[in-house]
Copies of this chain bind each other. A is one copy, B any other.
Amino acid sequence: MIRYCLINGVLTDAAQASIGLSDLGLLRGYGIFDYFLVRRGMPMFFDDYLDRFSRSAALLGLELPVSLPELKAHIFRLLEANGLSDTAIRLLLTGGYAEDSYTPTHPNWIVMQHPMPQVPARQHAEGIKLMLYRHVRELPEVKSTNYLTGIRIREALKSAGAPEVLYHDGRCVSESARSNFYIITQEGVLVTPRDKVLHGVTRKQVLQSAREIGIPVEERELLLTELPAAAETFLTSTLKGVLPVVQIDELRIGSGAPGPISTRLGEAFRARVEAYLQQQNLPEEREF
């Protein structure tokens, strides 16, 4: 049971929490967010997420009303108030209240806490199907709140039996609605798009794992025509970690089951999560 959230730094009853109607996040979709998991009371890869939140804000010309250390302190305060050690945190920053319904003012910032979400175990065990869809996210480097296309096509995804989408521009594939995308070539090279995608925090960790393991990494354009020859494909996201992809539209990838390199990277990522937790050396008062 999550009791509180933070609205502009004020601890607020989550059940009653609301935002005024002139907020530009609501009226004009002018907002950014970020989302991370908390394990044993510790926000995972905390600095990476806060850096990205701050970068997204800057790219929309929004000034964060608090410094990142202050934001951190607020987040720990919220975690303590709610008393859950395994959970998820959503940060939201909007263009603020606008009298003219258009021009950003003083941003509103919100911290919401969610129960730890579960990815169906079957998805990791068996891998999932993706549906190709032609779309390039607007300002893809910004973690904006704009999910018009991703949400609009959810029924088409369901009909296709594909839990996630794979966006492309007719020539290159880019990313999923909430995940990064990768292939392993027949030569054992990991390829993932470099530009016009959101630079995921999990992506960063998984690429580091790959390099440590000795898997060659290429961040570059990834052509649609490279998919049929892929030995393995997978997604990464905060929530999913490394999630094997075994089918893209009617194309079966490899043997149709999660491949060995995806599996190894998934293990390596979980080890990084564990190592991160060990390194943090939680002070006693944060172990609630």
Q: Which residues of A contact B (CB under 8 A)?
A: 5, 7, 14, 17-21, 23-31, 33, 59-61, 90, 92, 94-95, 100-104, 110, 112, 114, 117, 138-139, 142, 144-149, 151-152, 154-155
CB-CB under 8 A from A102, the residues of chain B are: 147, 151
CA distance in complex: A60, B153 (Å):
9
CB-CB under 8 A from A27, the residues of chain B are: 33, 90, 92, 145
CB-CB under 8 A from A110, the residues of chain B are: 21
Query: Does A21 lie within 8 Å of B33, measured CB to CB?
Result: no
CA distance in complex: A144, B94 (Å):
17
Which of A27, A29, A33, A95 gathers the greatest number of chain B CB atoms within 10 Å?
A29
CA distance in complex: A59, B139 (Å):
22
Which of A19, A24, A92 gathers the greatest number of chain B CB atoms within 10 Å?
A19
CB-CB under 8 A from A24, the residues of chain B are: 151
* Contact pick for A19, options B21, B117, B149, B154, CB 8 Å: B21
- Interface residues of chain A: helix, strand, loop or mixed (majority): mixed
CA distance in complex: A104, B147 (Å):
12
CB-CB under 8 A from A59, the residues of chain B are: 152
Shortest beta-carbon distance from A177 to chain B in Å: 9
CA distance in complex: A32, B174 (Å):
27
Query: Does A103 lie within 8 Å of B29, measured CB to CB?
Result: no
CB-CB under 8 A from A101, the residues of chain B are: 90, 114
Query: Does A149 lie within 8 Å of B145, measured CB to CB?
Result: no
CB-CB under 8 A from A100, the residues of chain B are: 117
CB-CB under 8 A from A145, the residues of chain B are: 26-29
CA distance in complex: A30, B138 (Å):
14
Shortest beta-carbon distance from A117 to chain B in Å: 8
